[in-house]
């Protein structure tokens, strides 16, 4: 499960009135420069929202791959969007990366 899915699950666990605040509090976890600072931010998050939203903390603590992307260089981390090939393809499609049908056909041939 990558951050896109984690954020969606967190949003389901918090009140609508607190959602924006909580989502902003979670951002430093995946925007940190390294594992140590992300772990420090996680400890801060636990102190900040842990009592009110213990289910959010539990969700994050039980996710084994929460900080796994920190073992990759920064350039690669930014491109890690999801684990699903289809969602990655949809992301490319939404960005209008395929300027011609031929480019899309080449990608289709590579995948299949």
Q: Do 43 and 74 fall within a single domain?
A: yes
Q: Do 71 and 89 fall within a single domain?
A: no
In tens, the pLDDT along 61-99 reads 998 788 887 888 877 776 664 555 556 666 666 666 556
Model confidence band, residue 17 (pLDDT cutoffs 50, 70, 90): very high
Q: Do 33 and 8 fall within a single domain?
A: yes
Instruction: Quote the mean pLDDT of the chain.
Output: 81
Range of the domain at 46: 3-80
pLDDT of amino acid 36: 92
Q: Do 59 and 89 fall within a single domain?
A: no
In tens, the pLDDT along 86-96 reads 566 666 666 66
Q: Do 75 and 86 fall within a single domain?
A: no
**Residue 56, class by beta-carbon neighbours within 10 Å (0-12 exposed, 13-18 middle, 19+ buried)?**
buried
Nearest Cα to 21, choosing from 55, 54, 51, 45?
45
Q: Do 25 and 58 fall within a single domain?
A: yes
Percent share of the chain, pLDDT over 70: 76
pLDDT of amino acid 47: 95
pLDDT of amino acid 104: 67
């Amino acid at each position: 499960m990558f951050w896109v899915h984690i954020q969606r699950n967190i949003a389901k666990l918090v009140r609508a009135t607190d959602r924006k605040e909580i989502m902003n509090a979670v951002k430093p976890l995946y925007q940190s420069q390294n594992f140590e600072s992300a772990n420090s931010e996680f400890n801060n998050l636990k102190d900040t929202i842990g009592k009110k939203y213990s289910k959010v903390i539990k969700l994050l603590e039980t996710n084994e791959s929460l900080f796994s992307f920190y073992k990759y260089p920064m350039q690669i981390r930014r491109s890690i969007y999801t684990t699903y090939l289809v969602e990655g393809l949809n992301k490319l499609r939404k960005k209008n990366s395929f300027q011609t049908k031929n480019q899309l056909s080449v990608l289709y041939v590579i995948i299949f």
